[in-house]
Amino acid sequence: MPFTLMFLLMIAFVAAVIYFSKAAALQPEQQVDADVFRVKESYLKIIAQKDEQAAEKGRLQEASDRIFNLYDLMRELTRAADVPEAFRIFKDHVHRQLVLDDCHLVEHSPKDISDFPSFKGYKFFSLKAKKMVLGELAYKGLQEDEEAFVILAAQFALALRRIRLYKELEDMAITDGLTHLHTRRYLTERFQEEFGRARLKGLALSLLMIDVDLFKHVNDQYGHLAGDQVLREVGRFISQHTREIDITGRYGGEEFCIILPDTDKAGALVVAERIRAAVQSGRIKAYDTEIAVTVSIGVATFMEDAHQMEELLDKADWALYRAKKTGRNRVVGFSVYLT
């Protein structure tokens, strides 16, 4: 074999040995790099999972906070006795949970924004319960989740409906359905309160007992429906000629009662005469018939006529009896018991 060929073969052998030696040396390094990459990838996955779990925990905490805040709002609204108190509770919760510049309760819905010039720039949210519009919330500057505001407003609407239903039931319990004056039960309760206040503070308190003259004759001649209309109109005359602080009511049948706080005998007689004259001059239209009626009124006053509640009631009733016995259509103030 020629020397040149052998030399070339030796060089090729040495080169092959060096190549495979390097390849064998690089294989552990590559394996280590691959292992490091896999560990790094696993670590990054763990970090991502941890971040996702933290984000989910934050979302769950936020949802939990909303639920508990909504529960607190519902609980506080349930205890609210009237609309202003309920609205104050609602506003407190809104300002604690959301960023809001201003909010107002509008009792009736606007037909146009021009109806409320002071609310320029405000948005309106209709408060509804069972398709009934209870009012509007005028608000502005809401800088966060409007959905949260809607949820809170919906709870306020339910509370508003509950308060109004309760008020309607309360009014039904203390209001005579025919005359829309107070019931006898309510009159009795208020009479006790006002008499106690008058006695404690040494104030005058007058009582008027009113009876529609010859009411049985009205029923017999015109019918009970016409009689009901007469009672309604007499109740209206009484309401028109008394103050807001006076307590008016239907005492029973065709008899009415008025409690006049802080009113002496002279003042009570003036009120009674005003009512008597209004009924006499009025003409009550019952369907196709005009009916003229009159009333008799008895007046008694604490402390001038009586010092006990039952005594005051008895003397006002006695004065009424005297008014009817001496001719009807008149006012009689108690003086002395007469036969």
Task: Please tell me whether residue 147 adopts helix, strand or coil conformation.
Answer: helix
Instruction: Report the alpha-carbon distance of residue 105 to residue 328 in Å, rounded.
Output: 52
Please state, in angstroms and rounded to a whole number, the distance separating the CA atoms of residues 196 and 46.
78
Q: How far apart are CA 99 and CA 66, in angstroms?
A: 15
Q: How many domains does the chain have?
A: 2
Q: What is the pLDDT of residues 24-70, one digit of tens each?
A: 555 665 565 565 566 566 666 767 676 676 666 656 555 555 555 65
3-class SS of residue 332: strand
- Residue 81, CA distances (Å) to 77, 134, 297, 313 in order: 9, 17, 38, 34
Q: How confident is the model at residue 20 (pLDDT cuts 50, 70, 90)?
A: low
Residues 247 and 322 in one domain: yes
Segments forming the whole domain that contains residue 296:
184-333
In terms of domains, do 141 and 236 share one? no
Q: State whether the Cα torsion 42-46-47-52 is positive or negative.
A: positive
Domain boundary, last residue among 174, 201, 236? 174
Residue 296 vs residues 18, 20, 151, 270, 281: alpha-carbon distances, Å: 136, 133, 58, 14, 14
Q: Are residues 302 and 221 in the same domain?
A: yes
116 part of a folded domain: yes
Query: What whole-number distance in Å separates Cα of residue 138 and Cα of residue 124?
Result: 5
Are 143 and 275 found together in one domain? Answer: no
pLDDT band at 2 (very low <50, low <70, confident <90, very high): low
Neighbours of 279 (CB within 10 A): 25
For 256: left if phi > 0, alpha if psi spans -120 to 50, otherwise beta; the answer is beta
Do 124 and 241 have their domain in common? Answer: no
Q: In the chain, pLDDT over 90 holds for what percent of residues?
A: 44
Same domain, yes or no, for 100 and 214?
Answer: no
Euclidean distance between the first and the last CA atom of the chain, given in angstroms as a whole number = 170
Q: Quick one: which of 29, 43, 159, 174 has its CA closest to 93?
A: 159
pLDDT digits (tens, 9 = 90+) for 178-204: 999 999 999 999 999 999 999 999 999
Do 192 and 309 meet the contact criterion of CB atoms below 8 Å apart? yes
Q: CA 159, CA 47: separation in Å to the nearest integer?
A: 47
Q: What is the CATH number of the domain that holds 199?
A: 3.30.70.270
Q: What are phi and psi of 258, to 5 degrees?
A: -130, 130
Structure token pair of residue 277: 């004259």
Rounded CA-CA distance 261/277 in Å is 22
Question: Quick one: pLDDT at residue 136?
Answer: 87
Q: Is residue 267 part of a domain?
A: yes
What pLDDT, on the 0 to 100 scale, is given for residue 91?
86
285 and 207 housed in the same domain: yes
Indicate whether 12 belongs to any domain. no
The last residue of a domain, from among 148, 174, 200: 174
pLDDT over threshold 50, residue 262: yes
Tell me if 27 is assigned to some domain.
no
Task: Round to whole Å and give the CA distance between 79 and 73.
Answer: 10
pLDDT in tens, 115-157: 566 677 888 888 887 777 888 888 888 877 788 888 888 888 8
> Does the residue 1 lie in any domain?
no
Shared domain for 157 and 214, answered yes or no, is no
In a domain, 264, yes or no: yes
- Write out the DSSP string of 194-220: HHHHHHHHT--EEEEEEEETTHHHHHH
Strand partners, 106: 136
Domain boundary among 174, 193, 217: 174
Could you say which DSSP state residue 304 is in?
Answer: T
Instruction: Specify the pLDDT at position 178.
Output: 92
| 322 and 193 share one domain | yes
Tell whether 205 and 318 lie within a shared domain.
yes
Taking Cα atoms as reference points, which of 219, 275, 277 lies closest to residue 248? 275
**C-alpha span between 274 and 286 (Å, rounded):** 23
Determine what percent of the chain is predicted with pLDDT higher than 70. 75
Is 85 inside any structural domain? yes
Say if residue 329 is in the same domain as residue 188: yes
Residue 112 has a pLDDT of 47
Size of the chain, expressed as the number of residues it contains = 339
**Residue 332 and residue 314 in contact, taking contact as beta carbons nearer than 8 Å:** no
Asked which of 113-122, 203-212, 256-265, 287-296 is least confident by mean pLDDT, the reply is 113-122
pTM > 0.75: no
pLDDT at 296 over 70: yes
Q: Note whether 269 and 314 are same-domain residues.
A: yes
Output the six-digit token pair for 334.
Answer: 């108690």
Tokens representing residue 306 in the block: 């009586």
Q: Does 62 map to a domain?
A: no
Q: Strands of 255-261's sheet, edge to edge?
A: 247-252, 255-261, 205-212, 295-302, 331-333
